[in-house]
Amino acid sequence: MNAIAAASTASDPHKQGASRHAGLNAWVAEVARLTQPDAIHWCDGSDAENAALVAKMEADGTLIRLNEETHPNSWLHRSHPDDVARVEHLTFVCTSHADDAGPNNHWMAPEEGHAQIDALFEGCMRGRTLYVIPYCMGPIDSPLSRCGVEITDSPYVVANMRIMTRMGAAALARIEREGEAGGSFVKGLHSIGELDPNRRFIMHFPEELTIKSYGSGYGGNALLGKKCHALRIASYQARSEGWLAEHMLILGVENPQGETHYIAAAFPSACGKTNLAMLIPPEGYLKDGWKVTTVGDDICWMRPGADGRLYAINPEAGFFGVAPGTSINSNPNALKTIQKNTIFTNVGVTADNQPWWEGLQSGTPVTDWRGEPYDAAKRPAAHPNSRFTVSAKQCPSYSPMAEDPQGVPISAIVFGGRRASLVPLVFEARDWTHGVLVGAAMGSETTAAATGAVGVMRRDPMAMKPFCGYNFADYFNHWLSFDQAGAKLPKIFHVNWFRKGDDGKFLWPGFGDNLRVLEWMIERVKGTAGAVDTPIGALPRAEDINLDGVSLGEEARDKLFGFDRDGWRAEFASIGHYLEEYGPRIPQALIDEQQRIAAQLDA
């Protein structure tokens, strides 16, 4: 409480770090009264501040410096063994009416939510410093960007938010400017608490633009600018303000003629999202002059421009990527990105203090992610959800357009899942309504390793199942609302890199060769590529895609480019039952579209 008194009685509050935004100051004071920190620190995002925080964390063991020769300015963080991932069963959307949260969210009444989590916050920062983190999601001067302030007692969170967002003085200045004009900012309150799984909640109050997270230091639960703000709260904001906040990568494809098309793509986990965002063209394409650039690997905010096209920004400034499986073979660009200035979380360590995880071609771990001697029979060296946090600007394929305030124009939107059967390599939706249905119905088949049952379909609409901040039925309706007179909407496609043959092996080579499919999409946008019309959409023939250098057998060609009418009849019956789960709020246009295609399949 002394820190509050000092700040409130200072002759120059700005020297204490306080804001010119009266509402922000009042909220910080209110949180301090509740949590009772020993000190309050307003973050400015400076190098000096970061160096001091890192030194503090090195001293108390929160961060362990890695090999300076191989990984300069990089650290290892080990989280609590019970705090290693998002906790969807403890993540709530607190709206006034349960129907507004929908069957896709865990709901709690706002009053109950505040009461439950505020009881945990009471006095939780005694002996700790309260950090005030002003941040901007998106380029600092972009009209598409939105700001927030996270209050936390974790210096690890501060260090990560500095990488993942535009954090500090410039963000605070924008919040103050917007406050003078009557604008609002997202309020996020976080404490690591006791890191007790039984005293852990992540609460979202969309109507109040507020997030409260207690009891976890894990990225998705603690870096409140990420999934909490950039998707759950932003999706709610986007609906009221006429834009889209989506779980999508953004990449640019430049052809030999110098034309660049930007593509946004949504995939559930384990479907190659980051690999596609950082794709390296096949050798033949490189020789011809094709280039792929990375605007974003995870989140995409899209808004209609004056010309009717959708323009997108990546609200994040960094990558919070999964380490295991990242290798010179799977994603060379990602591996090059994380060779310096990186925070690694829950990876293993080699004898010479280099980070290590399963999938790397070199190195031998001696210590696992818990800090214990590595024993492969006991546990993997790196936790399966271990992470790296790194600035996007370090990526070799980073696009300078990622900082363009107006965003990039989107030519195509891609949905995809992991389907071993039925779904072809790629197809194009007939129109926007059909495309929304394609996104609403997308999903993946489970594997034996994950669930004990093979081929169980789990639908994950637009890859937003864990992240949509309101009722999916209303969300689908919001998507449909963009189809207006004068709109020049992107074409919508669906891809499936994971179709398998009778021998259980993948039929498509994937990785860099996925550019061949993107090229076909771009040519479809331009009206220059062939396709066959089917009830499920337009499918390329094998000859419509550049397969030079790719060896595909007869089975691969049949299944990757084929159409199984009987299988799709069953699929569309399943989609019909799925839509019914959302009750009377489901848009009639989606039901009509499902029935139209089902009737064509029966014809």
Catalytic residues, by residue number, are 271
Determine the Cα–Cα distance for residues 36 and 3; give it in Å rounded to an integer.
10
Give the contacts of 93 (CB within 8 A, at least 6 positions apart). Answer: 101, 105, 106, 107, 108, 204, 206, 232, 469, 470
Q: How many residues does the chain have?
A: 603
Helices (H) and strands (E) in the chain, counts: 19, 30
d(CA 490, CA 263): 9
Rounded Cα–Cα distance for residues 314 and 584 (Å)? 34
418 marked as binding residue:
yes
Dmax over CA atoms of the chain, in Å, equals: 80
Pairwise CA distance, residues 500 & 15, whole Å: 62
Residue 377: how many CA atoms within 13 Å on its side-chain side?
Answer: 0
Q: Is 2 annotated as a binding residue?
A: no
Is 378 one of the annotated binding-site residues? no
Q: Would you say 269 is a known binding-site residue?
A: yes
Annotated binding residue 220? yes
Is 61 labeled as ligand-binding? no
* Annotated binding residue 375: no
152: which residues sit within 8 A by CB, 6+ positions away? 130, 131, 133, 158, 190, 191, 222, 224
465 is in an annotated binding site: no
**Two tokens, residue 39:** 């000190």
- CA separation, residue 559 to residues 239, 327, 422, 553 (Å): 39, 29, 8, 10
Strands (DSSP E) contained in 331-385 are 343-345, 348-350, 355-356, 365-367
Consult the annotation and say whether 511 binds a ligand. yes
Tell me whether residue 430 is annotated as binding. no
Check whether 47 is labelled as a binding-site residue: no
Sequential DSSP letters for 106-148: EE--HHHHHHHHHHHHTTTTTTSEEEEEEEEES-TT-TT-EEE
For CA atoms 267, 458, 269, 405, give the dihedral sign. positive
**Is 303 marked as a binding-site residue?**
no
Residue appearing with tokens 């410039």 = 170
218 is known to lie in a ligand binding site: yes
219 is in an annotated binding site: yes
Place of tokens 């990757």: 560
Helix (H) or strand (E) holding 322: strand 318-322
Tokens 């596609």 belong to which residue? 276
Distance CA 427, CA 531 (A): 9
Residue 471 marked in a binding site: no
Query: Tell me, what amino acid is at 207?
Result: E
The annotation status of 136 as a binding-site residue, yes or no, is no
Instruction: Quote the CA–CA distance of 242 and 232 in Å, as a whole number.
Output: 16
Residue 198 labelled as part of a binding site: no
Consult the annotation and say whether 488 binds a ligand: no
- Sheet harboring 75-77: ordered strands across? 64-65, 75-77, 343-345, 387-391, 318-322
What residues form the annotated binding site for substrate? 86, 218-220, 269, 385-387
Binding site for GTP, by residue number, is 270-275, 387, 418, 511-514
- Residue ranges of the annotated binding site for Mn(2+) are 227, 247, 298
Annotation: binding site: 86, 218-220, 227, 247, 269-275, 298, 385-387, 418, 511-514
